[in-house]
Structure formats: structure tokens, C-alpha cells
Structure 1
Amino acid sequence: MEFRPLALVFPVLCLSVLGAAHATTAGNSDGTERWGYVEVRPKAHLFWWYYKSPHRVTTPTKPWPTVLWLQGGPGASGVGLGNFLEVGPLDGNLKPRNSTWLHKADLIFVDNHVGVGYSYVEDDSLLVTTDLEAAADMITLLKALLKEVKTLESSPLFLVGESYGGKYAATLGVSVVRAVHAGDLKLTLGGVALGDSWISPEDFASSYGTLLFEVSRLDSNGADHANKDAQVVRQQIAAGQFRKAQITLSKMLNWIVVNSGHVDVYNFLLDAGMDPVAAASASSPSPPEYSRYLESKSIGDTIQGAMNGAIKQKLNIIPKDLVWQAQSYAVYYALINDFMKPRIEEVDKLLSYGVNVTVYNGQLDVICSTIGAETWVQKLKWEGLKNFLSLPRQPQYCGSVEATKGFVRSYKNLHFYWILGAGHFVPVDQPCIALDMIAKITQSPALALS
């Protein structure tokens, strides 16, 4: 596929009504891209962007897959960050990305939830306060997309969530299965992939002291301090005090950053350079600077200018007074009472429904550490867990060099990837093995890259 300069692509516009959801859509004249808005509730608008793969092939046993990317934060823009800084066809400099996941699947990016990125609400009271409410919005969006993106009728859909997006993907996955079974949604859910995902906050908080002590970023006194904070987090979660648990976690992360020589909470081999965790207080806790970190890894702040300049011009349907931001803190704080709730039960439900569930984690992550991911997986009530845990891991390789890039363990419909040399953002840190992994997750019929 040849990607022409963004500002020169002429979109074809249309306005349509899709059931109860009003939709404004546009796209390239050659059909390789479509994008648009769906009014999922009165005055609440979700923005989506679909890319059709130039490598699309179909066999009788392996239909071409579609990946729906769900960004974290919560409140970070998938259309901006996941698309241009991680797996989309163009990078942050608007140049072709060699490792784009379009090699293996069609891609859909959504600025979820309403109020994120190009998505917007006409009244802040319409912001969602739970992942379940956000999932209801997404079901409405998917119903509209089935009419706008005809390939979804025959293409298995894979939900891939990163960070808080993974926590949300577990909830959405359950909602999709139920909607399909009820006949309200006519698509095939191919699987759910949870990348460095915030599935069990207490298990991640409990891992920080041990992990950072073992890699020499904290001494034994520091580890003891972190472990005591984690115990408070666990007690507050057990008591249903989720807002208090979030405040404790923010204070804990601030303390860890300061006392570890400013460790990067997304990659323990790095210093933050600037504190990645904004100052927190009991009355005004702040999340880790997820979106700012991802921007700084690639191209500094230029994505902000592009999203409000060339890309907005290309899309041609973004409200003129809307200013794209990488992170919506209004959305983050609207979800503050849901933030620390675990989603292990939802993963169990997906497994019991027979949905393929993949957990993948970067070796160097702190905020959603591999230790924490392994711990919550061991809490699953899924009947195949004992057999899963007893199996040996299989080494994973990528490219022409016979170097181990990761490991995988699989049993029935549960799969776990350990990705070596990667922090929180696996596709950024290890693009080759990430592309190979998504091909295996989706069982893509695409030929191997030369």
C-alpha cells in the first residue's frame, strides 16, 4: 500500500443514520481507510478509524482478522498514540512504519471512552464512570461499524488492549460475547489480548517493592516501605474503598520514583528524566503520565501538532473547536471509582465462554509488572489453570538472528507471552516479536515477511 501525504488525501464524506446511532463517516476514495463518528448516546460521540490491510488474503480455514486497538490511561487516545506511535501504518513523523500490524490484520482504532482524543461529549455529565458503561457505548459503536465496514461481517474481531485498555478489554469482551449470544451483535469474537494490562491493581502494587529491590532500584528499606504501602492498598480494595486505594497508590508511586533515583515506571532500566508520576495529594491524586511518556519515547511533542494540523485536516470531519490532547484527565477522573477494581472475574468468564485469551507482558515493566500479571493469572478459577501452569514455556524468536526474544505458554484457550527487552509498551520496544505475536494470536493467513 502506498500512503500518500496525509493532507493530500481527499476524503469522501457522507452522513447517515445507522439504527439508533447517528453516524458521520468519511474515507479514502480507494477504500483503504474509513473513519467517522458514532453518536453512541445523545450528545456523546465516539471517533473511529479503520485501515484495510494491503496484505489481506483469505483461505477456507483462516479468514482475514481485524484488530480493534484499545488504548490505556484511562483517557489516552488510541487514534493518536496506538495508531501513530505503536502499530498503525504511519509513525509519529507520518512516515511508513515497517512493523505495522497491518501486515497481519485490518486495524480499527477508537478514541475510547467518549471525551478522549477526537471523541467528545457535549456535556461533561455524559462521561462514563465505569468500564461497563464504556462497554455499552462500544457495543453501540460496533453495531454501527458492521454497517460501515463490511469486512467485519466475515472477519474475526480481536480486542487488543494495552495497560488500562486491557482492563477495559476484559469487560468489553464479556459484553461482546453476551451481545452476540443474544443476537444483538452479528460478528465473530476471535479473541482478547491483554497487553501489560491493569487487570488486578492490588497484585501489581504488591509487586513493586520486590521487583525494584531485585533490580537494585530500591534497597531493602525501600522495598519494606513499598510493601507496607501495598498492604494498605490491598486492605482498601478488600473493603471496597477504591478511591482511597487509588490515592494510596499514587502516593506510593511518587515515593518509589523519588527514592529509586527516579526510576521509569514503564521500564526499570531507564530513568524518567522527569518525574513520570505527577505530584499527588490526598485531595488531588494524579495518574502516571502514560501518554506523555509514550510521546516522548518517539517524537517528542510533534504528534500534538500533527493531530491538530495535518491529520485533522485530512479527516475533515473533526469539529473545528476540538483540540486533540493525548490524555483526557476529565475521563481519567470520571473513572476514578472504577480504576482500582480488578477484572480477574471477567477474564475467567471469557475463558469459560471459550474465548481465546492472550496475556502478554514486557519484561522491564514496573507499573503492570510481569510478576503482578503472573500472580493474578494464578488466581483464575478456570478449570484448565492447573494444566496451564504445569506446562513448560516455549522460546520465541524473531528475524534472522537466533536470539531468544520471549517465551510463550499455551493451554487450550489461555496463552501467556513473556516479551524480553520490552517495557510497558511492547510494540514500541520490541516491534518484531510483537508483530510475530499478533500474527499467532489472530492466526493471520498473511505470508511471513521477508
Structure 2
Amino acid sequence: MESRAIALVFSVLCLSLLRATRATSAGTADGTERWGYVEVRPKAHLFWWYYKSPHRVSTPTKPWPTVVWLQGGPGASGVGLGNFLEIGPLDGKLKPRNSTWLQKADLIFVDNPVGVGYSYVEDDSLLVTTDLEAASDMTTLLKALVKELPTLQQGSPLFLVAESYGGKYAATLGVSVVRAVRAGELKLTLGGVALGDSWISPEDFASSYGTLLLEVSRLDSNGAEHADKDAQVVRQQIAAGQYRQAQITLSRMLNWIVVHSGHVDVYNFLLDAGMDPVADASAASSTSAPEYSRYLESKSVGDTIEGAMNGAIKKKLKIIPKDLVWQAQSYTVYYALINDFMKPRIEEVDELLSYGVNVTVYNGQLDVICSAVGAEAWVQKLKWDGLKNFLSLPRQPLYCGSLEATKGFARSYKNLHFYWILGAGHFVPVDQPCIALDMIGNITRSPALPRS
């Protein structure tokens, strides 16, 4: 693969430069942006980019929040996709975005795990192979950022906000952060964890595909039955700990669904797949990776995001190794995590709730791959003692702007919150930017978990 070749080039040609970036950082003269590298392990480098909000209003009792955005894939670049195509201050054409989340919080984008986007390793053997390893690297990064960013030192509550596979990162990282704070190893205020259309329980999502697509007429009853049988195999393989086999079964299942649904877009069932969600739909035994980044790239107008990230943005940042070629998604990283891909992270969410951490689950109505139905199913498996009360409460309608049309629903009990976002697919901030902005404002106003 191209990314593997790039890594080999690094190790041969750029070793002295790579070693020099152990704690490299830079920024704008006015301090509104900072970025840099942290060597989280020897020869493994994570890239981060911080934006200070021009709207910040902070008081001793209510410090201005900071959001860390965790992209999915696995292998997709948060610094490129989440930043320029979803919630950052500039859009894909490098023009100001009206719905940037900077209106509600400072933002930190990270190319996570190592090997993604501008992040890199000097040897592919250093890529993470589990969500827990990714969480360990990110915890090391946060320890460095607390020293780097005065706002975090001053108590700005940190919110881990995730999308897609990034939800697995967020759940494991959230637990790691709480443990590190309690142990006195990390001086940080954790405000909460938000899981957007997140791949927390693969078996619950797989089990939802047949019924969901039948109800919206993308499959008939025969197709739904076929999908349900595949889902049963996925459940059995996960129960037996056969995660690699379960991933292969899921890949075959998605291939079949795409073909027999008239090429439904699994990120939005109202659309056809102009971007096939499976990289190699022609191979029945394929272990192919979802084309996570292609949907977002299709929303960008004009020059491609690759052109900007390898051109104007790279030139601005100055510290990116010159031989590094930014890619929207690294399949080397995807395949390195392949044995962890189908492992659920429900227990980690339960642990966060037990610590008193605010946990928000939000889901787009039109998503298939991480459907709202699947998210509701895994939430109902939580062992949290407030679950029964949470499920018994009515949902509250959500509105946005001057129109009174319902844009979604929300339910909250103690430190668990769930948002259903109408008219949105997998990428909520892209499809419904107004209600997404309101939502993140509500999330970041929630009480933070105190420092230890």
C-alpha cells in the first residue's frame, strides 16, 4: 500500500527530521491556533491542531470548554476531515464556516491513531492494533497538551467528541483519562464523552440492517431475511471471540446489502451509493475497509481536500515532514486494527457512567451503518443503575432557528443523554449543522467531572 511505502521512505530518508519532532509545536502569532507533534512512543508521532475560540466567555464558575474531535474509519484524518469538512473554522474550500463548533468551544483535532493523516510512525510495526493502545497514546498526548495549552491548565473542561469508529476511541480514552486523573497522573477536567453515530456494538448495528432497510423499502422481506441470517452469524462469531471472522462476515453482508438494495448509501438510506461504503465490493471473501472518507469528500466543492492538505495547509503548518503525503484515510491503520474492529465497547461506556462522567449518544435518523435503532439496542444493554429511569422518560422535541419544524428529539437522565437527529445520516454536523451546533452547546454546558 502507498502508506506503507511512505513509512519506509520516512525511516530511510527522514530519520533525523523525525527524531527532531519529538515535542515540536508551532502556531499563529496571535495565539489563536497552535499545532504540533508529540512522540507518544519512540518513533511514533501524533499530530494535533488547536483552535482558540473567538467567542470564548469564561468565568471562575463556568470555564470555556474544549472539544477534542476523534474521527472514525478507523484510519480517517480528523485534522483533515473533521476539521475542514465538518466542524472547523474553515470549510473544504478554505472559506469561513458559519456553523463551526468554535462558536461553542475551543477545538482540538488529532490525527489518531499514529499513521493517520499527518501523524506517522517510523516503522509500521509501531502502529496500534487495539483501541486500548490507541487510548494509551492519546492519554500521553493529553498529558503533553496540558503543558502546551494554557486554557487546559486553567481548568477548561475537556469533552471527547467522536464520530463512527471514533466512538470506540472515545470510550476507551475516556476510561483511560479518568483513571489517569484519579491516579494523579493527569491534571485535567473531563467534561464528558459524546458518541456520534458510533461503532460501540457491531453486533447490534449488524442486527438492525435487515429490519431498517425493509421498513424504508430498500430491501424486501427476502432481502431482510438474508441480512438477518448474516447478522446471526456475526452475533455468534462475536460471542465466540472470533472477531476477525465476524469482520469478514460483516463485509460480505454489506456487499450483499449494497447490491440488493439498489446500491443504498449505508451512510444515508435516502441516497444511492455514489461512494461505495465497501472498498472492494467485487470480492465475496474480501476483508475490505469502508470508504468512510469518500462521503465527506463528496460534500467538498472545488479543489479536493487532498490537494489542500498536501498543499496550502502543509505549507502553513511548516513542521510536517516534507516526504509525508496526507491521505484522507489510511488503510494500513485500518488493517492494523482489524482484529479489534468488531469488539464492543459497551463495558467502557458503563464504566464512564459509573464514574459520573457525562455520556451523550447522538445519532442521525438516516444512518444505516451505525443506525439509531442499533444505538438504542446497545444502550439498553448498559448495566448502569439509572438505565430503567432513563428509558421510562419521554423524549423532548428539538427545534433550531426561526422555523418550528421538529429537528430531533432528546432524552436525559442524570449523566446519560441521547439525541435523535432527524434528517441526518452518519455525519450529523454535515447533514444538520444547525441542530448539531445547538447540541454541542448543550453538551458542553453540562456539569464537568471535578478534578481529583
TM-score range, shorter-chain basis? over 0.9
Asked if the contact 1:405–1:420 (Cα under 8 Å) also holds between the matched residues in 2, the reply is yes
Q: 1:314 aligns with which of 304, 313, 316?
A: 316
CA offsets 1:40-95 (integer angstroms, 9 cap, x no match): 11100000000000011112332100000000000000000000000000000000
Between the aligned partners of 2:229 and 2:152, the Cα distance in structure 1 is 49
Between the aligned partners of 1:37 and 1:60, the Cα distance in structure 2 is 31
SS at match of 2:313: helix
Question: Corresponding residue for 1:333?
Answer: 335
SS at match of 2:409: strand
CA offsets 1:270-301 (integer angstroms, 9 cap, x no match): 00124231225476411221011211122376
Between the aligned partners of 1:410 and 1:56, the Cα distance in structure 2 is 26
Q: TM-score by structure 2 length?
A: 0.92
Between the aligned partners of 1:283 and 1:233, the Cα distance in structure 2 is 15
CA offsets 1:79-133 (integer angstroms, 9 cap, x no match): 0000000000000000000000000000000000000000000000000000101
Between the aligned partners of 1:38 and 1:60, the Cα distance in structure 2 is 30
Asked if the contact 2:99–2:437 (Cα under 8 Å) also holds between the matched residues in 1, the reply is yes
CA offsets 1:362-383 (integer angstroms, 9 cap, x no match): 0000000000000000000000
Within the alignment, does 1:223 sit opposite 2:224 as a pair?
A: yes
Asked if the contact 2:172–2:345 (Cα under 8 Å) also holds between the matched residues in 1, the reply is yes
Asked if the contact 2:243–2:341 (Cα under 8 Å) also holds between the matched residues in 1, the reply is yes
SS at match of 2:293: helix
Between the aligned partners of 1:274 and 1:432, the Cα distance in structure 2 is 25
RMSD: 1.3
Between the aligned partners of 2:117 and 2:416, the Cα distance in structure 1 is 32
Question: Corresponding residue for 2:115?
Answer: 115
User: C-alpha displacement at 1:167, in angstroms?
Assistant: 1.4
Between the aligned partners of 1:409 and 1:141, the Cα distance in structure 2 is 33
CA offsets 1:175-200 (integer angstroms, 9 cap, x no match): 00000000000000000000000000
User: C-alpha displacement at 1:29, in angstroms?
Assistant: 0.3
Question: Corresponding residue for 2:165?
Answer: 164
Mapping 1:76-95, distance limit 5 Å: 76-95=76-95
Amino acid at match of 1:130: T
User: C-alpha displacement at 1:442, in angstroms?
Assistant: 0.2
Give the gaps of 5 or more residues in structure 1.
1-20, 446-450
Q: TM-score by structure 1 length?
A: 0.93
Asked if the contact 1:250–1:285 (Cα under 8 Å) also holds between the matched residues in 2, the reply is yes
Between the aligned partners of 1:248 and 1:93, the Cα distance in structure 2 is 39
Mapping 1:24-39, distance limit 5 Å: 24-39=24-39
Between the aligned partners of 1:230 and 1:420, the Cα distance in structure 2 is 26
SS at match of 2:276: coil
Amino acid at match of 1:268: F
SS at match of 1:23: coil
Asked if the contact 2:22–2:45 (Cα under 8 Å) also holds between the matched residues in 1, the reply is no
Between the aligned partners of 1:337 and 1:438, the Cα distance in structure 2 is 32
Question: Corresponding residue for 2:280?
Answer: 279
SS at match of 1:152: helix
User: C-alpha displacement at 1:443, in angstroms?
Assistant: 0.7
Q: 1:382 aligns with which of 381, 384, 400?
A: 384
Question: Corresponding residue for 1:59?
Answer: 59
Q: 1:177 to 1:359 in 2, by over 3 A?
A: same
Asked if the contact 2:49–2:109 (Cα under 8 Å) also holds between the matched residues in 1, the reply is yes
SS at match of 2:22: strand
Between the aligned partners of 2:372 and 2:302, the Cα distance in structure 1 is 28
Q: 1:369 aligns with which of 350, 368, 371?
A: 371
Amino acid at match of 1:92: G
SS at match of 2:295: helix
Give the gaps of 5 or more residues in structure 2.
1-20, 448-452
Between the aligned partners of 1:160 and 1:250, the Cα distance in structure 2 is 27
Aligned residues: 425
Q: 1:63 to 1:170 in 2, by over 3 A?
A: same
SS at match of 1:22: coil
Question: Corresponding residue for 2:6?
Answer: none
Amino acid at match of 1:159: L
Question: Corresponding residue for 1:41?
Answer: 41
Question: Corresponding residue for 1:3?
Answer: none
Amino acid at match of 2:423: G
Between the aligned partners of 1:176 and 1:381, the Cα distance in structure 2 is 21
CA offsets 1:23-47 (integer angstroms, 9 cap, x no match): 1000000000000000111100000
User: C-alpha displacement at 1:444, in angstroms?
Assistant: 8.1
Amino acid at match of 1:311: I
Between the aligned partners of 2:218 and 2:361, the Cα distance in structure 1 is 26
Question: Corresponding residue for 1:146?
Answer: 146
Within the alignment, does 1:127 sit opposite 2:127 as a pair?
A: yes
Between the aligned partners of 1:116 and 1:156, the Cα distance in structure 2 is 26
Between the aligned partners of 1:123 and 1:301, the Cα distance in structure 2 is 32
Question: Corresponding residue for 2:261?
Answer: 260
Between the aligned partners of 1:151 and 1:273, the Cα distance in structure 2 is 42
Amino acid at match of 2:214: F
SS at match of 2:324: coil
Asked if the contact 1:65–1:444 (Cα under 8 Å) also holds between the matched residues in 2, the reply is no
Amino acid at match of 1:350: L
SS at match of 1:417: strand
Amino acid at match of 1:382: W
Question: Corresponding residue for 1:186?
Answer: 187
Amino acid at match of 2:212: L
Amino acid at match of 2:78: G
Q: Identity across aligned pairs (percent)?
A: 89
Q: 2:438 aligns with which of 436, 439, 446?
A: 436
Asked if the contact 1:62–1:444 (Cα under 8 Å) also holds between the matched residues in 2, the reply is no
Amino acid at match of 1:431: P
SS at match of 2:168: helix
Between the aligned partners of 1:300 and 1:85, the Cα distance in structure 2 is 13
- 273-282 or 370-379: bigger deviation: 273-282
Asked if the contact 1:247–1:282 (Cα under 8 Å) also holds between the matched residues in 2, the reply is no
SS at match of 1:75: coil
Amino acid at match of 1:195: G
Question: Corresponding residue for 1:426?
Answer: 428
Asked if the contact 2:390–2:411 (Cα under 8 Å) also holds between the matched residues in 1, the reply is yes
CA offsets 1:358-409 (integer angstroms, 9 cap, x no match): 0000000000000000000000000000000000000011101111100000
Between the aligned partners of 1:359 and 1:301, the Cα distance in structure 2 is 34
Between the aligned partners of 2:31 and 2:195, the Cα distance in structure 1 is 30
Question: Corresponding residue for 1:7?
Answer: none
Q: 1:390 to 1:300 in 2, by over 3 A?
A: farther
Q: Which runs of 4+ in 1 moved over 6 A?
A: none
